[in-house]
């Protein structure tokens, strides 16, 4: 059944059940992936997947929902029936409606859809990448975590008032995590991830080089003294922090009482005036961009922090109605509609006169800790309390030398961190979760050796 | 649920599918496979969320799919699909064969499926015995009301989820198995706030194969526990970082052993070359007070199984006995690639994942000490009453958040502290577990790894670690 046929089928089945108001989101995907182990194919995977989520409104205008992978005629009927039963338990205190923007035009990036290169080609590419990475340095003994995948999918949103939108795209991903070992030293590991619209678009050479350089750079390591340090966050690690605390900008989290912000926080100064943050699913560098959200609302560039002050929250249909504004294209279809950011863009604002521009990660000769990558986000972030304590990979720069930090955590408070940004470098770097320059923060606690 | 309309040439749950499964396996063997495995599932799930004094979400879902795995030598190809027709399953077999690029004429052996082992016979009634959405909603609302104990509690949540999974497993070694699995979990969460102070508390409970479990759940006790935890931590100071002895509480304290050591004893880690214990079988890797077990047989425990996802009954695996490494957890691919015998640990989240060696109910066995013995033995240290989540890096370093912690001074518990994380490496910490309490208890959890998220229990008695790095401020 194709996406148009599903709509017809749902419409027919809804009529039989006397359901006048409904919407649905569906996705169809074909995925292919390979993993290798020292030149040998390890696991080769393919999947055909389909998921349908249907919402129905009963006569009391309460919403019920069901999700299924059975997109057959009988599956659709069953899903509608279950959703109808679930609507008896719909939330009476916060009603849900169709997005008022579900029929607005969407901006679809003009990207030529790639064709599958096939498992054999993926395998050849990954074997070559693994070999090159192992040969790049004598200490690199293996690439225990590796994979090359390509996905082709279509997403659809439609509702009983005539909205229908779909888009299809392709995406490929390569990850290489090498393990280096030297005598009488602990094994060290690091890696790189690259995305592309197709396997042929992925910059494999730079992935190999990055994985190799990072891994080798951690070979000479030392413990770090527990203390407070000047910190330079890599673009990737700063975006990790911002995403971890994105409940600050999330209207759903505010309503649920799990955000550090409240309804009146728009305009509140939360960071140095030199900081601007946007959410921009449609950014030209975002390979994972989506033109509409789970409720069919078009996505767009939205300013979250403007010159250090909260400018906007991200919304679904219902949160926007509660906040008396319009949906922003950040909804995920569910019984309780979720809200989440897409792709974060961090920039230096024009109010940057107070920044210490001498702090540049490639030239600064004073002592600082460079945080390359933050780990264990799910465990170490208390978003509702604003605190974090996270293990990281990085280096201590001291006396003009750089040494990998053996094992350490960085701890602090997001509000403190944002207010103590002392420099935002000029050059932005693209990562898988957004785009950001290097960010310098004064005095965060690092736990290493006692 | 769990019945489908009978159609020709399609998998039908509740009926014999032997002929069709044999035809598909023969087809794969005929194309040159060494081994063919078919995993088929049919699911019926629902979840309910109560926030404050209202039900805010009821989410049913259902689905079906198949995962086909073909081995050729030590390589395997895995294809998943929602198409359970003969045509769809054969197409998946062909795709897996094609991926493996089989060119030789050698074929595996298939002598037909063995007698059907049907573990689901006594379980078909479960769907009618689990609580209704009405019943769940009512109890969840009573639970969230119980959390409303003072005006510092600003957020109250109760959640329930039920997963019912019917599986059929057939493979070219003759395995032909059916089973029904039922998992239920219920959790409570609060956030407390007073001026600039904030804290949170949460507890989760879970069971497998016990339809009545939710009715028996003591929501009042759970609410008191969560409330007390959040109040204790509301005004807590941040802990000072440093090396110190710690006492880890029982139940979910076992998450550290699970994450930091248990995963390193899965054969998937040997395959990757990422476990420091690979060549340590029958060697001492932990303090002699430590005996650690992984099993899938404790009745009702969240990680228990009648049969694993490769059709093998789970065993009780003594991983570490008195500090000596005795066994690795192995699945079919693990046995093929590492030589370690299967342990009934082949598990997967659903049909879209190939099974891998995974933990089930994993715990450190009880010792002889009381909790007080452990605390009394420390002059300055940390008591970790409740652990949050954590992670283990690619080279074995682990990091775990302490959700509820108390300083130990002169053998007594003193002030609560927040922001603590425990940092270390399994092979360095295991020899430092010097005392085990006599109060072993298990706690349910979800473990995410190579074959998706699976239900597990973690557990231990109170244990003392002589020295560990505590991260703080």
Q: In this predicted model, what pLDDT tens digit does every residue of A141-169 receive, in sequence order?
A: 999 999 999 999 999 999 999 999 999 99
Q: Indicate the pLDDT class of residue A110, thresholds 50, 70 and 90.
A: confident
| CA-based nearest residue in chain A for residue B351 | A47
Q: Is the pLDDT of residue A64 over 50?
A: yes
State whether residue A380 sits within 8 Å of chain B by CB: yes
Contact B473 A445 (CB under 8 A): yes
The burial class, CB within 10 Å (0-12 / 13-18 / 19+), for A111 is: middle
- Higher-confidence residue of B8 and B185: namely B185
Tell me the C-alpha distance between B91 and B282, whole Å: 46
pLDDT more than 90, % of chain B: 85
Count interface pairs A-B at CB distance under 8 A.
Answer: 215
Q: Indicate the pLDDT class of residue A352, thresholds 50, 70 and 90.
A: confident
CB within 8 Å of B356: residues ≥ 6 apart? B266, B268, B331, B333, B334, B346, B347, B348, B449, B450, B451
CB within 8 Å of A293: residues ≥ 6 apart? A299, A316, A327, A329, A330, A331, A332
| CA-based nearest residue in chain A for residue B95 | A46
Structure confidence by residue, pLDDT tens digits, B210-266: 999 999 999 999 999 999 999 999 999 999 988 999 999 999 899 989 988 999 999
Across the range B21-37, mean pLDDT stands at 97
Give the CA radius of gyration of chain B: 24
pLDDT mean across residues, chain A: 94
Among the ranges given (B336-345, B415-424, B433-442), the one the predictor scored with the smallest mean pLDDT: B415-424
Contact B57 A336 (CB under 8 A): yes
Tell me the C-alpha distance between B126 and B208, whole Å: 11
Cβ–Cβ < 8 Å for A71, B65: no
- Tokens 């898988």, residue located: A432
Q: Rounded to 10 degrees, what is the CA torsion of B226, B253, B407, B157?
A: -20
Tell me the C-alpha distance between B399 and B392, whole Å: 7
Contact A389 B419 (CB under 8 A): yes
Neighbours of A140 (CB within 10 A): 21
Q: Indicate the pLDDT class of residue B471, thresholds 50, 70 and 90.
A: confident
Nearest to B397 among A47, A83, A391 (CB): A391
Tell me the C-alpha distance between B9 and B90, whole Å: 11
Tell me the C-alpha distance between A412 and B75, whole Å: 46
Stated length of chain B:
473
Contact A44 B198 (CB under 8 A): no
Q: Which of A32, A94, A407, A413 is the mutation pick for testing B, counting most B CBs within 10 A? A: A407
Tell me the C-alpha distance between A318 and A94, whole Å: 7
pLDDT at B8: 55
Bridge partner list, A191: A177
B473 vs A contacts (CB less than 8 Å): 411-412, 445
Structure confidence by residue, pLDDT tens digits, B361-380: 999 999 999 999 999 999 99
ipTM field? 0.89
- Tokens 């690690």, residue located: A237
Tell me the C-alpha distance between A447 and A389, whole Å: 9
């Amino acid at each position: 059944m194709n996406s148009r046929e599903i709509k017809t089928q749902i419409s027919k089945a809804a009529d039989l059940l006397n359901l006048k108001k409904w919407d649905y989101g569906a996705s169809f995907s074909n995925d292919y992936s390979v993993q290798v182990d020292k030149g040998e194919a390890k696991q080769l995977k393919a999947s055909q997947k389909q998921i349908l989520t249907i919402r129905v409104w009963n006569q009391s205008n309460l919403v019920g929902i069901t999700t299924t992978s059975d997109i057959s005629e009988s599956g659709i009927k069953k899903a509608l029936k279950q959703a109808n039963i679930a609507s008896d338990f719909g939330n009476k205190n916060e009603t849900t409606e169709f997005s008022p923007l579900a029929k607005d035009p969407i901006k679809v990036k003009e990207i030529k859809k790639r064709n599958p290169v096939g498992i054999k080609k993926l395998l050849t590419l990954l074997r070559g990448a693994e070999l090159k990475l192992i040969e790049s340095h004598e200490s690199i003994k293996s690439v225990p975590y590796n994979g090359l995948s390509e996905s082709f999918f279509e997403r659809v949103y439609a509702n009983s008032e005539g909205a229908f939108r779909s888009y299809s795209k392709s995406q490929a991903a390569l990850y290489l995590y090498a393990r280096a070992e030297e005598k009488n030293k602990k094994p060290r590991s690091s890696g790189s991830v690259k995305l592309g619209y197709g396997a042929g678009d992925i910059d494999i050479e730079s992935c190999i080089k990055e994985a190799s350089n990072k891994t080798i750079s951690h070979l000479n390591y030392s413990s770090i003294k527990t203390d407070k340090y000047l910190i330079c966050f890599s673009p990737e690690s700063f975006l990790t922090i911002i995403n971890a605390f994105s409940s600050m900008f999330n209207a759903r989290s505010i309503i649920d009482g799990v955000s550090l912000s409240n309804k009146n926080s728009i305009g509140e100064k939360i960071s140095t005036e030199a900081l601007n943050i946007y959410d921009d699913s449609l950014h030209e560098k975002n390979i994972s961009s989506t033109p509409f959200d789970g409720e069919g609302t078009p996505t767009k560039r939205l300013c979250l922090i403007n010159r250090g002050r909260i400018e906007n929250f991200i919304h679904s249909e219902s949160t926007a109605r509660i906040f008396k504004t319009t949906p922003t294209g950040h909804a995920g279809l569910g019984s309780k509609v979720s809200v989440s950011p897409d792709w974060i863009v961090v920039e230096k604002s024009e109010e940057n006169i107070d920044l210490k521009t001498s702090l540049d990660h490639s030239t600064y000769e004073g002592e600082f800790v460079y945080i390359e990558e933050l780990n264990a986000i799910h465990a170490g972030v208390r978003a509702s309390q604003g605190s974090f304590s996270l293990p990281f990979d990085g280096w201590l720069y001291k006396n003009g030398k750089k040494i990998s930090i053996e094992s350490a955590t960085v701890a602090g408070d997001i509000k403190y961190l944002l207010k103590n940004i002392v420099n935002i470098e000029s050059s932005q770097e693209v990562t898988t979760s957004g785009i950001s320059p290097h960010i310098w923060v004064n005095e965060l606690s690092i736990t290493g050796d006692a | 649920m769990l019945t489908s309309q009978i159609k020709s040439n399609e998998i039908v749950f509740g009926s014999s599918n032997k002929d069709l499964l044999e035809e598909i396996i023969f087809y794969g063997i005929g194309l040159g496979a060494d081994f063919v495995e078919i995993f088929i599932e049919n699911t019926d799930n629902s979840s309910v969320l109560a926030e404050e004094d209202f039900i805010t979400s009821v989410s049913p879902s259902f689905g079906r799919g198949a995962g086909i795995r073909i081995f050729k030598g030590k390589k395997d190809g895995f294809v998943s699909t929602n198409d359970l027709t003969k045509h769809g399953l054969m197409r998946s077999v062909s795709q897996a064969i094609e991926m493996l690029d089989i060119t030789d004429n050698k074929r595996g052996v298939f002598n037909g499926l063995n007698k059907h082992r049907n573990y689901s016979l006594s379980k078909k009634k479960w769907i009618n015995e689990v609580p209704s959405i009405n019943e769940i909603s009512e109890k969840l609302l009573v639970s969230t009301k119980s959390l409303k104990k003072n005006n510092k509690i600003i957020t109250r949540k109760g959640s329930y989820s039920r997963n019912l999974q019917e599986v059929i497993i057939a493979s070219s070694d003759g395995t032909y198995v059916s089973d029904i699995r039922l998992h239920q979990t219920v959790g409570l969460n609060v956030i407390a706030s007073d001026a600039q102070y904030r804290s949170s508390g949460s507890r989760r409970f879970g069971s497998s194969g016990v339809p009545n479990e939710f009715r028996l759940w003591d929501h009042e006790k759970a609410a008191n526990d969560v409330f007390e935890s959040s109040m204790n931590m509301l005004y807590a100071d941040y802990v000072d970082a440093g090396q110190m002895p710690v006492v880890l509480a029982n139940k979910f304290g076992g998450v550290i052993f699970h994450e930091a050591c248990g995963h390193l004893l899965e054969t998937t880690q040997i395959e990757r070359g990422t476990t420091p214990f690979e060549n340590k079988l029958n060697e001492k890797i932990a303090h002699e007070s430590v005996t650690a077990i992984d099993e899938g047989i404790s009745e009702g425990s969240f990680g228990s199984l009648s049969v694993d996802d490769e059709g093998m009954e789970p065993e009780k695996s003594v991983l570490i006995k008195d500090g000596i490494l005795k066994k690795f957890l192995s699945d079919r691919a693990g046995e093929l690639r590492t030589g370690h015998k299967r342990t009934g640990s082949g598990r997967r989240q659903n049909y879209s994942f190939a099974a891998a060696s995974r933990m089930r109910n994993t715990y450190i066995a009880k010792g002889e000490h009381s909790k007080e013995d452990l605390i009394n033995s420390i002059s300055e240290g940390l008591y970790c009453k409740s652990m949050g989540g954590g992670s283990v890096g690619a080279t074995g370093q682990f990091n775990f958040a302490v959700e509820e912690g108390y300083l130990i001074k002169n053998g007594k518990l003193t002030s609560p502290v927040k922001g603590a994380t425990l940092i270390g490496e399994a092979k360095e910490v295991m020899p430092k577990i010097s005392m085990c309490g006599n109060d072993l208890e298990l706690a349910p959890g979800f473990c995410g790894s190579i074959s998706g998220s699976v239900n597990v229990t973690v557990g231990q008695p109170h244990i003392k670690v002589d020295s560990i790095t505590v991260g703080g401020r």
